[in-house]
Structure 1
Amino acid sequence: MTMDIAALRRDTPGCASVVHFNNAGASLPPAVVVDTVVEHLRREAATGGYEAQAEAAARLEAVYGSVARLIGAAPGEIALIENATRAWDMAFYSLRFGPGDRILTARAEYASNYIAFLQVARRTGAEIVPVPSDESGAVSLSELDRLLDERVKLIAITHVPTNGGLINPAEAIGRRARAAGVPFLLDACQSVGQMPVDVEAIGCDMLSATGRKYLRGPRGTGFLYVRRALLERLEPPFLDVHAARWTAPDRYEMRPDARRFENWESYVAGRLGLGAAVDYALRLGLPAIRDRVFALAERLRARLAELPGVTVRDVGAERCGIVTFTRAGEDAAAVKARLRAQAIHVSVSTAAGTLLDFEARGIPDLVRASVHYYNDESEVDRFIAALAAA
């Protein structure tokens, strides 16, 4: 599919005022997402929150089907949760670990996930084992093979780390997890929305994602996928009247579907906006989105590499829409502030996000410029000119 970039930019109000290269933080939403959220909030104001939700019941139910289509799942395997971290937590803390059990993860694993590993390890005596990286910077499959034994109770990997363009080999990891009978939890926070993600092809048992990043949905939205075969063996770390039914004074029954991981109160307008964002992405097509995003990112990397004092820091044999770099003599926060003064948006990655990776690479911080399909080549030129002007 050929994208009409001019039309997509017209459909993105923020493009008129900023160069937004912070899509790995939070994308600019298209008009339909904004309108969907605002219209529901107005309906809540006019008729009441419960009443507006009842009116929107069919549209809310349809969101599960849209998310399921997005990742190749069944609607009953989808839970709508307020963000990717909480979705990931609900899956991870449902698993049971004991002394000597091993959790295999990546060296570029995100801090929120690793902190959860540390907490569970402290409580249970489980062991965290980061899988070494290969020469490209991705999870080493040969090292994974070496470490994958009967002590391993979980493989938990971030598909696209927060601090660079690397894409970890999720499908190859999934094949190994299935062969070993080990659950595989994939943090797809940065990958869903910028590339095709198919849970059957990947072979993951659980997947967490957010609405605000490459899906272009509202903040405060996300989802969790749990494979039905595993779902029946998991009890979420907490339950409420939505996730379970109180059947007798001393008994309860959990929901039979993934909505056992949800709770009763939710951001209804945001869920509708998430559905609108997912449908928007599905209409454009994830292969077309991937091709556009990856090509624009490679253009940006090539232009950055031409600038004196600038070093592109992305690793990986395959790289996505996240572009990271350093500039000699100027720390990342200063670069961000200077660009922000010119209405150009980037973010900063530090060791606080991926400690093991930053320590191994000896880099104090990075500028992260993350492009999306609605960005255009003239914005890359403007970005390079602004960076070079100091």
Structure 2
Amino acid sequence: MNTSRRSFLRRSAGALALAPIVPVGRLALHAGRDGAIPDPGTHSSADAGSRSDGPGRPQEAWVARARAEIPASTESLYFQTGGIGPAPNAVIDHVQERLVFQNRSPAEPRIADEMARIEPDLRAQLARVFGAETEEVALTHSTSEGISIVAWSLNWEPGDEVVISNTEHPANVVPWYVLRDRFGIAIREIDLSPGTVLIDEVRDRLSDRTRMVSISHVSRNNGRTLRSDESAELGDLLRSRGVRYHLDGAQGPGCVPTDFRALGCDGYSTCGHKWLLGPKGTGALFVRREMLDDVQLSWAGSHSHATMDYEGAYTLLPSAARYEFGTRALADFAGFARAVDWMENIGLERIEGRIQSLVDHAIEIVDRTDGLGVSSPRARPDRSGVFVVQLPEGCDATQLYNDLREDEGILASPVREERDFRLSVHFFNTRDEIDAAIAAIAERCS
């Protein structure tokens, strides 16, 4: 690690040591972390000590308190939330506490009944926060799982078509490859580079054989965000033609405003472990109530059913919980609920606003840096915390990723386009960190 990098981390760690580590979550934690939880918005700027958010910009108290609860935010320059988000201490502590509690006697009625409330409570919470009805929420283990549930819900025939985009994660590409090879479907691709018109792109690819459109709410490759109004317009068009509409929402909740109903899609797959800072192996699938019988099950098992006998009769649950089955990692789902609660207590609008402010700063710094450009959208609301830097000719993004990670302690990511390099900018990042990351990129690529 070079001298300037060591000095930066030493200054950052020294500043953070000035603040007490106060849990931000709304609920009290287990023994050792209990007590009243302060509202992060009620503290004066003096509480931030000497933390810096850039020259002449003392860090806001709520940001400093949140950073103190997220170990990864002070261990490195963490710009990898778009890949895997770092959970706050309160989340990990809660998962551990629930595991220990359950293990005292998993089948004992008092313990089993308390653990059994985790999933219905979480479904109701996610519905409230993200604009759905409780009956429209299924709990999954990843965005990929939700995508596969939707992808396999149709009776595909040779020649049927699915429309995806040129900015998708493999999770929204590989299932379609498998269905192509298994059933002979055709995959059509639209261009969702910044500046293209969503409705025109999709309309130009539709045919009488199109059965589904599955694209990203927020692109992990270029950060483009589908506006709710344009997404709703697309939903209306597709419904008029009997085409299913699904959004990959891995990069949505916790990064940009997310309202399932306003987006107008039939299904929305997301996860807990990215921008919501929840446990790994948690996710959700939202399915419009009126589509539940159309989004047919390909996977099923115990707990998918409302009734059954051993003579061949069964009925499915009347809600999206029909897509769930088997023994579940309840402590992880409890941690997912705690993560959403932790984010809500800070304020999702406040978080989204800070992300946008940090992206403003990142754009300004890149524009002042010779050799670098901005590949992601520049204007709100088309942009997100997925901020993509365009590297100069000859700078290898994969080598840059390895060098920054190993030598500088900067965690970022190459993406699909050869010269694109992603910084996932979450609210806990700082302007100083953005400055350091962009300076390191420029130096390595010079």
**TM-score normalised according to structure 1 size:** 0.88
The equivalent position to 1:278 in structure 2, one of 340, 351, 355, is 340
> What amino acid does structure 1 have at the position aligned with 2:299?
F
Identical columns (%):
28
Structure 1 Cα separation of the partners of residues 201 and 71 of structure 2: 47
Q: What residue is the counterpart of 2:140 in the other structure? A: 81
Q: Which is further off, 266-275 or 115-124?
A: 115-124
CA distance in 2, matches of 1:78, 1:379: 37
The question of whether the paired residues in 1 share the 8 Å contact of 2:147 and 2:171 is answered with no
Write the distance in 2 (CA, Å) between the matches of 1:41 and 1:282. 24
Gap runs ≥5 in structure 2: 1-39, 42-59
Structure 2 distance, partners of 1:63, 1:121, is 35
Task: Specify the code of the residue in structure 2 equivalent to 1:163.
Answer: N
Post-superposition shift, 1:185? 0.7
Alignment-derived partner of residue 48 in structure 2: none
Alignment partner, residue 411 of structure 2: 345
User: Which one-letter code corresponds to 2:312 in the other structure?
Assistant: D
For residues 98-124 of structure 1, what are the alpha-carbon distances to aligned partners after superposition, in whole Å with 9 as ceiling and x for unaligned?
233322222222223222122223333
Please state how far the C-alpha of 1:215 moved relative to its aligned partner. Answer: 0.7
Rg (Cα) greater in structure = 2
Q: Secondary structure at the match of 1:224?
A: strand
- Relative distance call for 1:137 and 1:50 in structure 2 (3 A) is farther
Deviates more, 1:65-74 or 1:325-334: 325-334
Output the amino acid matched with 1:34: I
Instruction: Report the 3-state secondary structure (helix = DSSP H, G, I; strand = E; otherwise coil) of the residue aligned with 1:172.
Output: helix
The code of the aligned residue for 2:274 comes to: K
Counterpart-to-counterpart distance in 2, 1:89 and 1:38: 30
Q: Quote the offset at 1:225 in angstroms.
A: 0.7
State the Cα distance separating 1:143 from its structure 2 match.
3.2
Give the counterpart of 2:319 among 246, 250, 257.
257
1:62 counterpart = 2:121: yes
Q: Please show how residues 156-235 of structure 1 align to structure 2 within 5 Å.
A: 156-169=214-227, 170-235=231-296
8 A contact 1:174–1:184 mirrored in 2: yes
Q: For the Cα contact (< 8 Å) 1:138–1:168, is it kept in 2?
A: no
Preserved CA contact (<8 Å) 1:139 1:168: no
3-state SS, counterpart of residue 301 of structure 2: coil
Conservation of the 8 A alpha-carbon contact between 2:215 and 2:248: yes
Give SS of 2:213's match. strand
What SS class does the counterpart of residue 117 from structure 2 fall into? helix
| One of 166, 180, 183 as aligned partner of 1:121 | 180
| Amino acid across the alignment from 1:295 | S
Question: Which stretch shifts more, 141-150 or 365-374?
Answer: 141-150
> Would you say the 8 A contact 2:76–2:411 is kept in 1?
yes
Query: In structure 1, the residue corresponding to 2:388 is in which secondary structure?
Result: strand
Query: In structure 2, do the counterparts of structure 1 residues 53 and 307 end up closer, same or farther at CA, with 3 Å as the change threshold?
Result: farther
Which letter does structure 2 place at the counterpart of 1:161? S
CA deviation after TM superposition for structure 1 residue 316, in Å = 7.1
Q: What's the CA shift for 1:58?
A: 2.6
Corresponding position: 1:334 with 2:399: yes
By how many angstroms is 1:295 displaced?
1.9
Distance in 2 (CA, whole Å) between partners of 1:83 and 1:45 is 25
TM-superposed CA distance for 1:222, in Å, is 0.5
The match for 1:321 is 385
Task: Quote the Cα distance in structure 2 between the aligned partners of 1:227 and 1:163.
Answer: 27
Aligned residues: 377
Amino acid at match of 1:335: L
Aligned to 1:379: 433
Moved more, 166-175 or 212-221: 166-175
Alpha-carbon separation, structure 1, partners of 2:128 and 2:343: 11
TM-score (structure 2 length as normaliser) = 0.78
CA contact (8 A) 2:246 2:266 kept: yes
Equivalent residues of 1:26, 1:212 under 8 A apart:
yes
Aligned to 1:357: none
1:368 aligns with 2:368: no
The Cα offsets for residues 300-340 of structure 1, whole Å up to 9 and x where unpaired, read as: 13212322332332247521111122433432222223322
1:354 corresponding residue in structure 2 = none
Instruction: Give the drift of 1:176.
Output: 2.1
CA shift, 1:139, in A, is 5.3
Higher relative contact order (CA 8 A, sep 6+): 1
Q: How does 1:307-318 map to 2 (within 5 A)?
A: 307-315=369-377, 318=382
Give the distance between the partners of 2:302 and 2:291, measured in 1 at CA: 22
Say what the alpha-carbon RMSD is for the aligned residues.
Answer: 2.4
Counterpart of 2:309 in 1: which secondary structure?
Answer: strand
Corresponding position: 1:29 with 2:87: yes
The secondary structure found in structure 1 opposite 2:415 is strand
Shift of 1:196: 1.5
- Name the CA distance, whole Å, in 1 between partners of 2:197 and 2:85: 27
In the alignment, residue 343 of structure 1 is paired with which amino acid? G
Look up the match of 1:18: 76
Deviates more, 1:77-86 or 1:92-101: 92-101
Q: How far has the Cα of 1:171 moved from its partner?
A: 3.0
1:160–1:93 Cα change, 3 Å? same
Where does residue 21 of structure 2 map in the other structure? none
